[in-house]
Structures are given as structure tokens and as C-alpha cells.
Structure 1
């Protein structure tokens, strides 16, 4: 699906199904230097099992046009305008890493628009080291290599990987390189700066009232589980699921992530 949002074309992957206003909607938000494709298994399953899917490419990423947003607040406002363009009143909001902060901020700004909140590979504050910030600004390819290494728990492919010959580290590296080719304007630095500068996380988390799910990778070196206590304690009703993966948990443990997300999305309250 392509919408006009803030005067530029916004691309949303729908999981291979046409949008149906009668179905509930799940919005998937990617992290830094990524696009909608990081959710490929999870989005296709949701789309073929009763949900509308809107897996966004954030501005300046993937197929969406316009300059990249420079703050989490701006990105959250953009996502809410995507809901407006699609005619969606309320949605399940799912975000990974930077995308989790966007989903959190959207839930604080417009709680009536977020029915459920799922945060993957998340933490708050989401501080980025000075060294990585500098490298992303001065030598983006080196930053891509650094992040790709730290985002995976192992160089060896996991048995749960969907499809023979699928190489998660190589695929993640090539995706980041492709995003750089599409938008060479220091996009990685812009994304990292937004994560590092976001200061509303605790206030936003304390305001969350909707059902909330945290999915963390037990071997995550980018947002390690030990760093998540402020976030999880601020949303006391949130449920936590731990999977055997690094930061790129949707690729390393796709079935475990899907199972947790779909169970959360379809659970009847009460």
C-alpha cells in the first residue's frame, strides 16, 4: 500500500493481503537502518490469519519517500498519520529497537489509537555509545559491520531459520547497505541520534494502559536484558518473553517471536 503522508509517499507492506477495514490491524515498525522486510515471516502470518498488516518503511528508509525524521517524536507522529491515511482508528502497535520507542511514544501521544503495544529488542534510555555515533557519522559501512556483529548471537545459522541457505548476518548486512544506497544522507547517524536523544520514555511508559508485551533476546548485546529494568518496571502490567537470540531476534528466532506476538494479539482479555 502507498499513502500520501505529510506530502510524501509512504509505503506499507501488507503481507500479501488486501486491506480489509473489517479486520483488526497490526502495525509493524522497523529499527535503525532497516525497512519493513525485517518482519517478513511475522507479517505474512498475521496477514493470512485475520489481521490487516501495515509494515511501514519509515521516511527515508526502503520505499517511503521524504527525508528521514530526526526524532522519535516526529516518527511517532508520522506513524499516527499513516493510520489516518489508512482509515484505521486503533491498531496493535509492534516495534523493534528504534521502532519500539516509536510505538511507545505513539501510545503516549494517542492512547486511543493503540489497542496493544509490543516492544521487541527495546530498552530505555536507548543510549548509543559516542564511538558508535561517531562511526555512523564518519564511516557508515564500518558502523553497519559493527552493529551487524553485535546484533547477532552467533555467526552460525540457527535451526529455526526459515529456509535452507538463509544467512541472517549476511542478509542483515546487505539490507543496511541497501538502505544506505537508497538514502546516503547519514541515515544511520540520524536514526542513532534519534534513539540517543529520546527523553520521554519513562513518562510515556508510565502512561501505558493497554496490554503490553516485551520480547527480549537473552543474548542481546545492543539492548541487553539487564538494561530493561526501568522500562519494564514502568509498565508493570507488561508481560515479558525471552527468546534465545541477539538483537536481531525476528530473524534468529522467527517462530518463537511469531508465536509470542500472535498469542498476545489474539488473547481474549478477562
Structure 2
């Protein structure tokens, strides 16, 4: 599905369903150098179980036009504009990594628009090492390999994700290379990492969130370790913490656990 958001064509995967104003809506927001496809299991399940799904490609990524958001705040403004373009008044937001910061900032800026907030593989501050920032800018292929080494605790997923025998590391690396190559005018890798590293409004934003909040974390996450969420969880008024046996790539390493946790949370 293509929507005109801020004058640019924006792609959202809907699970093959038409938007229905009578149904609740969930927006899935990907992380750095990813796209809508990282939510393949979760988005399809919700689309077939009574939800409108908008699994978005952020601006400048893959099927979406426009300049990539240079800050978390800029990306949050985009999400509000996306809801307007879709004719959606209220939605649940589910964000992974960089996407979790975007979802958090959106919920703080427009609390009346957000019914539930799920922060997957999150941390605050979301500090990016100087080596990765430099690599993303000057040697992105090497940095992609580094990120994938840190992001995965498994080599192959359970059958319910992408099928038995799928190589998680290789699949994720191929996706990141494809996303990077999709924009010849901007380095979305470095831009996204810098936006994560520069975001300084997390505590203030969390204090403004009015809806229930789920922290969905990977026990073996080396990119955003569970301990790095304490600042946010201490500020959340309506928080639930669920930890699954996975690294940073929760959606493919623990697909069922992530789906069950999101399903239970969004029913509440």
C-alpha cells in the first residue's frame, strides 16, 4: 500500500488486507538499515486477526520516498503524518531498536493518538560505539558484518519464522545491504545510527506517555542489553517487561514468543 505522506510516496505493508475503520490499527516501525519485512510474521498474524496493519518503510528506505529522518524527533513527526494520511485517529505503535525510540517520541508528542506502546529491543540512551558510527559512514559493509555479529545469538531460527535452515546472520546481512543500496543519495545506515546516538529526550518522553507500555527485550541482546532499559522502565507509568531468549534480532530469533507477547499486550 502506498500513501502520500508529506508529499512523498510511503510504503506500508498491510498483510494483504484493506484498511477498515471499524478495526483497531497497529503500526510497526523498523530499526536502522531494516524495512517492513522484519515484521513479516507479526504483521501477517495481526492482519488476519482483526487488526489494520501498517508495517512501514521509513522515508528513504526501500519502497518509501523522501529524505531519511535525521533525528528521532523528525521520524516521530513522520509517524503522526502517516496516521493522518491513512485516516487513522488512534493506533498501537510497535517499534524495534531505532523504531522503538521513534514510537516512544511519537507517544510522548501525541498521546491522544497512541493506544499502546511496545518497545522491542530498546535502550536509553541508545549509544552507538564510535567504531560503528565511523564504520557506518566510511566502511558500511564491514559495519554491517559487525552489527550482525552483535545482533544474533542464533544461527538458524525456529520453523515458525522464515523456515527451518534459514541462516539468520546471512539473511539479515543481505537485507541490510539491500536497504543501504536502495538509497543512492543518502547513507541511511549512518544517518539512522547517528539519530539513535544523538537522541536525548528519552526520559522526558517516557514521563509523558499515557498509554500502557511493553518492554520486549532479548536476554542475550548485545546491541541494546536489557539493563539499558532501566532508565525508561523507571519512568514508565504503565509498564510491563517481557524478556525472551534471543539477541537483538528478536522477531526472527524468537518469533513465537514475540508474537505471543505482542498479542497479549495489545488485547489489554
Q: TM-score scaled by structure 2?
A: 0.97
1:120 aligns with 2:148: no
Report deviation, 1:116. 0.5
Give secondary structure in 1 for the equivalent of 2:62. Answer: coil
Number of the residue aligned with 2:256 = 255
Larger displacement relative to structure 2 (214-223 or 167-176): 167-176
Give secondary structure in 2 for the equivalent of 1:234. Answer: coil
Equivalent-residue separation in structure 2 for 1:51 and 1:4 (angstroms)? 22
Write the deviation string for residues 144-185 of structure 1: whole angstroms up to 9, x where unpaired. 110011000133544654422322211111100001111142
Write the deviation string for residues 98-128 of structure 1: whole angstroms up to 9, x where unpaired. 0000000001110000010000000111110
Equivalent-residue separation in structure 2 for 1:88 and 1:157 (angstroms)? 34
Give secondary structure in 2 for the equivalent of 1:10. Answer: strand
Report deviation, 1:71. 0.4
Report deviation, 1:2. 0.6
Write the deviation string for residues 159-213 of structure 1: whole angstroms up to 9, x where unpaired. 6544223222111111000011111422110000000011111000011120111
Equivalent-residue separation in structure 2 for 1:215 and 1:94 (angstroms)? 10
Calculate the aligned-residue CA RMSD, in Å. Answer: 1.1
Contact 2:154 2:168 in 1 (8 A): no
Contact 2:158 2:164 in 1 (8 A): no
Report deviation, 1:49. 0.1
Q: Aligned in 2, Cα 1:266/1:66: closer, same or farther, shift over 3 Å?
A: same
Larger displacement relative to structure 2 (180-189 or 94-103): 180-189
Q: How many residues matched?
A: 267
Contact 2:157 2:163 in 1 (8 A): no
Number of the residue aligned with 2:210 = 209
Q: How does 1:74-89 map to 2 (within 5 A)?
A: 74-89=74-89
TM superposition outliers: structure 1 runs of 4+ over 3 Å: 156-162
Contact 1:151 1:248 in 2 (8 A): yes
Number of the residue aligned with 2:193 = 192
Q: How does 1:85-124 map to 2 (within 5 A)?
A: 85-124=85-124
Equivalent-residue separation in structure 1 for 2:224 and 2:26 (angstroms)? 24
Report deviation, 1:237. 2.3
Contact 1:135 1:143 in 2 (8 A): yes
Report deviation, 1:16. 1.4
1:227 aligns with 2:228: yes
Equivalent-residue separation in structure 2 for 1:98 and 1:148 (angstroms)? 15
Contact 2:156 2:165 in 1 (8 A): no
Contact 2:2 2:10 in 1 (8 A): yes
Number of the residue aligned with 2:41 = 41
Q: Which residues of structure 1 form unaligned runs of 5+?
A: none
Equivalent-residue separation in structure 2 for 1:203 and 1:62 (angstroms)? 32
Contact 1:107 1:208 in 2 (8 A): yes
